[in-house]
Amino acid sequence: MAKKKEDVVIINPIKINTALIRIVGVSPLIVHKWSEKAVKMMEETQQGAGKTKAKEARDPFSEFYNAIYWVKGQPLSETEASFDKAFENGALTGFPLCAIKQCANSAAYRRGWVKNQMQLRGAYFLRGIDDPDMGTIREKPEFRRDMVRIGMGTADVRYRPYYPEWSMQFYLDYDASDSTSTWSLENIINCIEAGGQFVGIGEWRPEKDGDYGRFRIDRNELTLLPEGCRTLDELAGLIK
């Protein structure tokens, strides 16, 4: 009896390419990073400490300052003068890229493009230009005051960074080894754009009954880096 020929499996090398992405806000962005002071107070409460401490007077500008995701040039002094001077000297802020990916994956799932969000989590990765975890925002945030509900009918005031107009840049790494793959660059970009339109990022986004934090992809500034090139600095070196 002739021996059955075994199937041969050929696995081609993966090819990770990088694109430089710029998203542009179509509605204002409200940001609220947890400050170190707030985290410490929560830890003390959970550990049974600090219950007898007198309540400190609130400093609205300090709360606004500490709710910012600083990327570069953070002023050491929490004053308006130092804040303004820092941006005159090129300070940069940002927003966590994990939120961009989460809103893209959520939109893809809700629109029926994937059976579960796990299908997209390993299909692409986002990296910051100035900070690995942050998309860079070059616009200067403004001071915003809002009344919010914190449960059981209780209201409170929040002082937060606000970007009336904003844009953000970051790198997108994806597998370009199979042009027929479901997760081509175009499909990934469409998922990110759907996330920007229907889910959003930040406070009061569409996912949380608001209309803030919506964005689109600026396709005129979509840059595909040469194969093997992963950053703008590497690209500048190739051009030289």
Q: Using CA atoms, how far apart are residues 161 and 140, in angstroms rounded to an integer? A: 9
Least-confidence region, from 24-33, 54-63, 100-109, 220-229: 54-63
pLDDT at residue 10, as a whole number: 78
In this prediction, residues 208-232 reach a mean pLDDT of 93
Tell me the HSE value of 193 on the side-chain side, using a 13 A CA sphere.
Answer: 13
- Looking at residue 222, its amino acid is L
Q: Helices 185-198 and 97-110, interaxial angle, to 10°? A: 90
pLDDT tens digits along 51-99:
556 667 889 999 999 999 999 999 989 999 999 999 999 999 999 999 9
Rg (the chain; Cα; Å): 22
State the first-to-last Cα distance of the chain, in angstroms, to the nearest integer. Answer: 65
Domains assigned to the chain: 16-29+68-74+89-139+165-239 (3.30.70)
Least-confidence region, from 80-89, 144-153, 164-173: 144-153
pLDDT above 70 covers a percentage of the chain that reads 87
The pTM of this model reads 0.85
| E strands in 83-230 | 92-96, 124-127, 134-137, 142-149, 155-163, 167-175, 215-217, 223-224
- Looking at residue 73, its amino acid is G
